[in-house]
Amino acid sequence: MPKPIIAIVGRPNVGKSTIFNRIVGERVSIVEDIPGVTRDRIYSSGEWLNTDFNIIDTGGIDIGDEPFIEQIKHQAEIAIDEADVIIFLTNGRDGITGADEEVAKILYKSKKPVVLAVNKIDNPDMRELVYDFYALGFGEPFPISGTHGLGLGDLLDEAAKYFPKEGEEQYSDETIKFSLIGRPNVGKSSLVNALLGEERVIVSNIAGTTRDAIDTKFTKEDKEYVVIDTAGMRKKGKVYESTEKYSVLRALKAIERSDVVLVVLNAEEGIIEQDKRIAGYAHEAGKAVVIVVNKWDTVEKDEKTMKQFEQKIRDHFLFLDYAPIVFLSAKTKKRTHTLLPMINLASENHSLRAETSVINDVIMDAVAMNPTPTHNGNRLKIYYTTQVAVKPPTFVVFVNDPELMHFSYERFLENKLREAFGFEGTPIRIIARARK
Ligand code: GDP
Ligand code: GDP
DSSP 298-364: GS---TTHHHHHHHHHHHH-GGGTT--EEE--TTT-TTGGGHHHHHHHHHHHHT----HHHHHHHHH
Give the CATH number for residue 234: 3.40.50.300
CA dist list (Å): 284 to 37, 38, 158, 195, 398: 10, 12, 28, 26, 23
Round to whole Å and give the CA distance between 340 and 332: 17
Please indicate whether residue 213 or residue 250 has the higher confidence score (pLDDT).
250
Same domain, 232 and 144: no
Please indicate whether residue 69 or residue 413 has the higher confidence score (pLDDT).
413
Residue 167 pLDDT grade (very low, low, confident, very high; cuts 50, 70, 90):
low
In a domain, 170, yes or no: no
Q: Spell out the residues 6+ positions from residue 271 whose beta carbon is closer than 8 angstroms to its own.
A: 265, 312, 313, 316, 317
Residue 28 has pLDDT above 70, yes or no: no
In a domain, 165, yes or no: no
In a domain, 166, yes or no: no
In a domain, 42, yes or no: yes
pLDDT, position 236: 54
- Mean model confidence pLDDT for the chain: 87
Atom 24 (ligand 1): residue with closest C-alpha? Answer: 120
Residue 87 has pLDDT above 90, yes or no: yes
pLDDT, position 332: 96
* ipTM entry: 0.77
Which among 18, 58, 61 is the best mutation to test ligand 1's pocket, defined by most ligand atoms within 8 Å of the CB?
18
Same domain, 154 and 20: yes
Residues in binding site for GTP: 10-17, 57-61, 119-122, 182-189, 229-233, 294-297
DSSP 187-199: SHHHHHHHHHTST
Q: Which of 98, 129, 160 is the last residue of a domain?
A: 160
Same domain, 327 and 268: yes
Round to whole Å and give the CA distance between 342 and 31: 24
Residue 105 has pLDDT above 60, yes or no: yes
Task: Give yes or no for a contact between 105 and 78, defined as CB atoms under 8 angstroms apart.
Answer: no
Q: Which of 350, 378, 411 is the last residue of a domain?
A: 350
Residue 400 pLDDT grade (very low, low, confident, very high; cuts 50, 70, 90):
very high
Residue 290 has pLDDT above 90, yes or no: yes
For residue 128, what is the DSSP state?
A: G
- CA nearest 144: which of 120, 116, 112? 120
Same domain, 155 and 180: no
pLDDT, position 35: 42
DSSP 138-161: SSSPEE-BTTTTBSHHHHHHHHHT
Q: Spell out the residues 6+ positions from residue 111 whose beta carbon is closer than 8 angstroms to its own.
A: none
Task: Give yes or no for a contact between 248 and 230, defined as CB atoms under 8 angstroms apart.
Answer: no
Distance 261 CA to ligand 2 centre (A): 18
Domain, as residue range, for 73: 5-160
By CB atoms closer than 10 A (0-12, 13-18, 19+), residue 436 is exposed
Q: What is the pLDDT of residues 305-349, one digit of tens each?
A: 999 999 999 999 988 999 999 999 999 999 999 999 999 999 999
pLDDT, position 33: 42
Same domain, 204 and 125: no
Q: Is the CB of 220 under 6 A from ligand 2?
A: no
Helix (H) or strand (E) holding 275: helix 273-284
Q: Which of 126, 160, 194 is the last residue of a domain?
A: 160
Same domain, 390 and 362: yes
37-51, 141-155, 187-201: range with highest mean pLDDT: 141-155
Backbone angles phi, psi at 74, to 5 degrees: -65, -40
In a domain, 167, yes or no: no
Same domain, 67 and 149: yes
Residue 27 has pLDDT above 90, yes or no: no
Which among 129, 147, 148, 155 is the best mutation to test ligand 1's pocket, defined by most ligand atoms within 8 Å of the CB?
147
Over residues 64-75, the mean pLDDT reads 80
DSSP 227-274: EEESGGG--S--GGGGSHHHHHHHHHHHHHH-SEEEEEEETTTB--HH
Round to whole Å and give the CA distance between 3 and 57: 16
Atom of ligand 2 nearest to the CA of 264: 3
Task: Give yes or no for a contact between 168 and 251, defined as CB atoms under 8 angstroms apart.
Answer: no
Please indicate whether residue 101 or residue 207 has the higher confidence score (pLDDT).
101
Round to whole Å and give the CA distance between 193 and 214: 13
Residue 409 has pLDDT above 50, yes or no: yes
Over residues 364-373, the mean pLDDT reads 95
Q: What is the pLDDT of residues 216-225, one digit of tens each?
A: 889 999 899 9
Beta bridge partners of 263: 181, 291
Please indicate whether residue 413 or residue 79 has the higher confidence score (pLDDT).
413
In a domain, 168, yes or no: no
Which among 13, 58, 103, 127 is the best mutation to test ligand 1's pocket, defined by most ligand atoms within 8 Å of the CB?
13
pTM beyond 0.80: the answer is no
Residues in binding site: 10-17, 57-61, 119-122, 182-189, 229-233, 294-297
pLDDT, position 228: 87
Same domain, 196 and 298: yes
Same domain, 301 and 221: yes
Give the CATH number for residue 367: 3.30.300.20
pLDDT, position 185: 87
State the maximum Cα–Cα separation within the chain, in Å, rounded to a whole number.
74
For residue 372, what is the DSSP state?
A: P
Q: Give me the count of residues in the chain.
A: 436
Q: What is the dihedral angle through the alpha carbons of 271, 276, 278, 284, rounded to the nearest 10 degrees? A: 150
Round to whole Å and give the CA distance between 294 and 191: 8
Backbone angles phi, psi at 150, to 5 degrees: -95, 145
Round to whole Å and give the CA distance between 276 and 387: 29
For residue 186, what is the DSSP state?
A: S
Same domain, 198 and 346: yes
Over residues 203-211, the mean pLDDT reads 56
Q: What is the pLDDT of residues 263-273, one digit of tens each?
A: 999 999 988 88
Same domain, 13 and 116: yes
Over residues 283-296, the mean pLDDT reads 94
Number of domains in the chain: 3
In a domain, 219, yes or no: yes
Residue 428 has pLDDT above 50, yes or no: yes
DSSP 27-89: PPPTGGGSTT----TTEEEEEETTEEEEEEEGGG---TT--HHHHHHHHHHHHHHH-SEEEEE
Same domain, 253 and 134: no
In a domain, 337, yes or no: yes
pLDDT, position 421: 96
Distance 346 CA to ligand 2 centre (A): 24
